Structure 1
Amino acid sequence: MRLGFFGINGGATCGPDETSRLARLAEELGYDSIWAGERVVAPSPHVPGATMAEPTYPILDPLIHLTYVAAATERLLLATGVLLLPQRNPVVLAKQAASLDVLSGGRFVLGIGVGSVEQEMTAIGVPMAGRGARTDDYLAAMRALWTRPGPVAHAGRFASFSGVDAHPRPLQTGGPRIIVGGHSPAAFRRAVARGHGWYGLALDPEAAALCIAGLRRAADEVERPAELGDLEITVTPAERGVLELGAAPDQPFDKAAVEAFEAAGVDRLVPVMAEITVERPLVSSPSPDAVAERLEALAELVI
């Protein structure tokens, strides 16, 4: 079981000293990856379904945060968990992703989602309707810029260009690995057809097993390109008193839970470093010392 960690680009741990200290500690402890979430703007006042209880909760842009982490580390994979793809310009994002991949020595992992907060998408100027189709088109546009010989062209419903090229190309052949987040049948199909992996948020082992069964059903419905390889399963566990956005489990996150996730088919666990509850998402931001202690305890449990 591989182990990553999520969420230090927000709250009390998003400063430069705290970020570098915790990222280096995780690398020393044997973590394989760091995951950064995205929230460009938050609804103010808070609305049901938004992942932050307070609009004033600080959260850094994930790509800028991970670039800083790249400079402070040597081995950690640098993953967005998840970046909301319909809210981004795919041509600009392709350049940003390639730049981060080059500067990190090929360590960037692009985790993507379709978005769910209407106020945020409206502020950015992107309609909620059609965001799944927009996501698919944007992925194709970025892959064209990463892989096709120039001059590059792409003609899609939401992105269209021709007679351009962009260098440097990503260090990873074919571009950064794509991880698709989401618990819907559409997300499962997108992961199978377009992703190197799938990411599930706030799941206990039973919920993870149900999602993996959904991914298997999706594999019967859509074709998976051979170059994507086996689908890698990453889960942020639902932990009692820590993360309860999904079904709240009756047991704490312990060795038995790790074994249950492994039996369900999970390849990587990515515990969150902030307290989240159903009633008040992101209700607290642990101190850097508390996060360091948690990183050490989880490493002893899993690695």
Structure 2
Amino acid sequence: MRISTTIFLTDETITPVRLARELEQRGFAGLYLPEHTHIPVSRDTAHPAGVPLPREYARTLDPFVALGQAAAVTERLALGTGVTLVAQHDPIALAKRVATLDHLSGGRFTFGVGYGWNREEAADHGVTWSTRRALTSDRLDLMRALWAPLPTGHTSASGPSLRPSEAWPKPAGGAPRTLLGGAAGPRLFDEIAARADGWMPVGGRGLTETLPVLRAAWEAAGRDPKTLQVVPYAVLPSAGKLAHYEELGCEEVVLQLPPGGEAEVLGVLDDFARYL
């Protein structure tokens, strides 16, 4: 099982370059970065964990810029978002950004996609909260049209349609591996089966019960059971927990690093090294 990491990189933490080099030298498989464009000060949305919003949420680096730095100083380290808030992006510009990073990194990019939890952040991007899932689906379809080998259009139900277009570079493998985040449920699982390569469940709790449901939705959509990928995300590890994920067929797990300075983060990497 591959051991990857995630961290809130900010203007106060270890740098992307230093972290990426250390991860590759130590044998970790990948680096995933979250996204928040901004955090409105006056908020109505509670943090999902039920605690005051941690400082790092408002200070996150742009994940694509940071991952570009990480790609430039590594050769094998996998790179990913955990997660990109697709509904908050112009899909044509985002498709270019994803394709460029995947192309320049030699196909090392994983496109982690999510729907978000902060209503105020989404509203500032013009997103009506109740439509964000449908908007994400539509924008993913439009992006795949731009990644197609031949000029392909897309008729949009939620915005301007895309005429058949040339768009280069293409992602290295035709389209990057795409993992959807979100809470378990039939709606999410049907969306994963329709548009993704797998699921990125935060924390990885309850997989014994939920994985059979996801696999049923996957197979009902005509997908090959062997191709489903489930990547537990932001995990605080223990030997027993990782062994459980491996027994469930998970081939990768993403461990949570603290949003700290160089000494703190490298110390945690030293501790996590026992799981490699």
TM-score w.r.t. the length of structure 1 is 0.82
CA deviation digits over 1:231-265, x for unaligned, max 9?
111112553xxxxxxxxxxxxx3222211221233
For 2:37 and 2:184, how far apart are their aligned partners in 1?
A: 23
For 2:184 and 2:207, how far apart are their aligned partners in 1?
A: 13
1:263 has 2:262 as partner: no
Q: How many residues align?
A: 270
1:144 has 2:145 as partner: yes
* Distance apart, 1:75 and its partner CA: 0.7
Counterpart position of 2:28: 31
1:230 has 2:231 as partner: no
Counterpart position of 2:39: 42
Moved over 4 A (4+): none
Contact 2:9 2:16 in 1 (8 A): yes
For 1:67 and 1:238, how far apart are their aligned partners in 2?
A: 24
SS in 2 for 1:210: helix
Single out whichever of 194-203 and 73-82 deviates more from structure 2: 194-203
Task: State the superposition RMSD in angstroms.
Answer: 2.2
CA deviation digits over 1:179-231, x for unaligned, max 9?
11112322222222211121011234xx232332331232254333x5x9611
Change beyond 3 A, Cα 1:158–1:271? same
Contact 1:121 1:127 in 2 (8 A): yes
Contact 1:43 1:55 in 2 (8 A): no
Query: 1:33 is matched by which residue type in structure 2?
Result: G
Counterpart position of 2:3: 3
For 1:128 and 1:57, how far apart are their aligned partners in 2?
A: 20
Which structure 2 segments of 5+ residues have no match?
none
Query: 2:265 is matched by which residue type in structure 1?
Result: V
For 1:238 and 1:191, how far apart are their aligned partners in 2?
A: 21
Query: 1:182 is matched by which residue type in structure 2?
Result: G
Contact 1:2 1:269 in 2 (8 A): yes
For 1:258 and 1:135, how far apart are their aligned partners in 2?
A: 31
Query: 1:7 is matched by which residue type in structure 2?
Result: I
TM-score w.r.t. the length of structure 2 is 0.89
SS in 2 for 1:34: strand
For 1:293 and 1:8, how far apart are their aligned partners in 2?
A: 16
CA deviation digits over 1:1-41, x for unaligned, max 9?
11100014236325xxx321111111111111100001111
Query: 2:211 is matched by which residue type in structure 1?
Result: I
Contact 1:11 1:57 in 2 (8 A): no
Contact 2:85 2:115 in 1 (8 A): yes
Counterpart position of 1:126: 127
For 2:273 and 2:141, how far apart are their aligned partners in 1?
A: 37
Superposition pairs of residues 94-109 of structure 1, within 5 angstroms: 94-109=95-110
Counterpart position of 2:181: 181
* Distance apart, 1:164 and its partner CA: 2.3
Using the aligned pairs only, state the percent identity. 30
Query: 1:254 is matched by which residue type in structure 2?
Result: S
Query: 1:178 is matched by which residue type in structure 2?
Result: T
Query: 2:214 is matched by which residue type in structure 1?
Result: L
Counterpart position of 2:60: 59
Which structure 1 segments of 5+ residues have no match?
240-252, 275-284
